[in-house]
Structure 1
Amino acid sequence: MYRLFFRLVLSRLDPEFAHHLAFVVIRVLPVVGIGSLLRRWARPDPRRAVHTLGLTFPSPFGLAAGFDKDARGVRGLGQLGFGHVEIGTVTARAQPGNPKPRLFRLIRDRAVINRMGFNNAGAAAAVPRLEREAGRRIRPVIGVNIGKSRVVEVDDAIPDYLESTRLLAPHADYLVVNVSSPNTPGLRGLQELDKLAPLLEAVRDAAAGVPVLVKIAPDLRDEEVLRIAELTVRLRLAGIVATNTTLSREGLITPAAEVEAIGAGGLSGAPLAARSLEVLRLLRGAVPPELCLISVGGVETAADVAQRLAAGATLVQGYTAFLYRGPLWAASINRGLRQG
């Protein structure tokens, strides 16, 4: 039913406008009482709970950063079956993001290209919402993904990240340092070890015991992935999120002229699955078994989640398939994992 609705209605709407409409519905779920009914139906099998980062995740499957940038829909998203919700990317300073249009569907590829540019209301604005959500008795685990403010030069990135850390870490279950979005100029350069090491060390210390992970790009060479893995272990970080969106356009079904007309941005969805799985296996072979690896990129089904877990993921995230599979996506994955 949802796929027919998507084909006939949602696919004809501007992707960002369609996202906002869906988000309004998600925020309303707890208010009208439907969410509590959905939660009972969508809840994961307790036997699938994951213990990591000093936390208990009710499901190994959660929502990746990018969908809920300002912590406005955490409760409704949890009621839809996501075991954790990673909000953000949040920056220290409020920013509108890149000019529109900045979100594009590649329907034939079950993919999306975005150049959103960390549009968000800023770290200080997120604090009261996080406080409220963290205080709820029934809620998903809440991760907070932080990035560099666009107006801040790369050389001044550490104080900028620390401002977000000090504001947000007290209200987060875990913190993710995003240095891998392709949509903020210079950001990916922070993955170079001479810049990455002092940044991660500073955030780790400022987080005051809140688990800190780093999110990396799929476009890194294997040797670069391994160097970041070694750095993560050496700094005693809690884990790695792999991977962010890709700059690659290889292997797409969508005609090259259409893709070229869209222009710059990070590609997510099904085309990213193979590289994301490859990076996961590379990381798991290089880090201790207790280090948390969150695998994201091209995950669509319960079988995909099970494959990532078998390959060494501690937790699994998705986002793009939410747009194509609809509001019951997480519930269907939880049911599939229960039956698997």
Structure 2
Amino acid sequence: MSETRNYDLVIIGGGPGGLSAGIYAMRAALKTVLVEKGAPGGQVTMSDEVENYPGFAHISGGELSMKFSEHADSYGLETISDEVAAVEPGLEYHSVRLEGGDVLKTHSVILATGGSPRKLGIPGEDEYYGKGVSYCAVCDGFFFRNKTVVVIGGGDSAAEEALYLSKIAKKVYLVHRRDALRAGMLLQQRVKAECKIEILWNTVPTDIKADESGVCGIGLQDTLSGEKREMATDGVFIFIGFNPANALVPAGTKMNADGYVVTDEKCETQMPGIFVIGDLREKYARQIVISAADGCTAALAAAHYVETKKSEEDFCEAPEGLLEEN
């Protein structure tokens, strides 16, 4: 039997951003619930090693996620293990409908659903993620100092990450399926001028190989001749796009051409009381620490919004004589 419950704040998504928001919301004494369909921690749980989160010189993604979760639990944050079916904005309250049938009525909502890198869909990609396969050069490039790496893609992200890796790795192969990059001209010029970067034109990856130490090679195919070959490499970085998980974003919410939600500096959308954080929000960079910071910002802003909303409700509900007296 379905149930309707009332909250000050509903957080959708239990990654670093959502858990950070939960911590700050509980400290602000908001009646808060976090809804997460999977394990807490989000994509960071799949990272074998994290070395760029402040305060931890070296920690696994799973361990960092656990620390986030334990911190939120220490404040008594309520969590619901369910999938959200819809977020319905309203004038008095917003409604969050769960797949299980329950409805959460709330003054404010923080969407922290993140997104995911587009995948190649080739053998070895999922199996060796975190063991030489990566979707973030800034996150994992350090582990490939003076090694050989392969970057897949031809857009701005692939070009930027190849240039970043060229400062760390011994050799960078940029694999692109066409005979011209899609990246901006200035980026193309920089890539072509970098002696450590070699572009493999008209080439697609077919599979990723590994041994007990991690990734050791990649299969390649020429798109013109069909010829296949194998190349030794220590790492494979994939940059063929990112899919923001925006299915729950209410209709009418402002998004950019790539599907990222546009917010103000408080992480609030143009719909009052609805906030978007983490990888779903339009921003310059996507890092764990930035998602956590978004969670803090949105929770503090939500607390101010809820306080203002409740004050207005109290004023409207006050007895007529009391209003005149004051």
More helix by share: 1
Q: TM > 0.5 between the two?
A: no
More strand by share: 2
Larger radius of gyration: 2
TM-score, normalised to structure 2, is 0.26
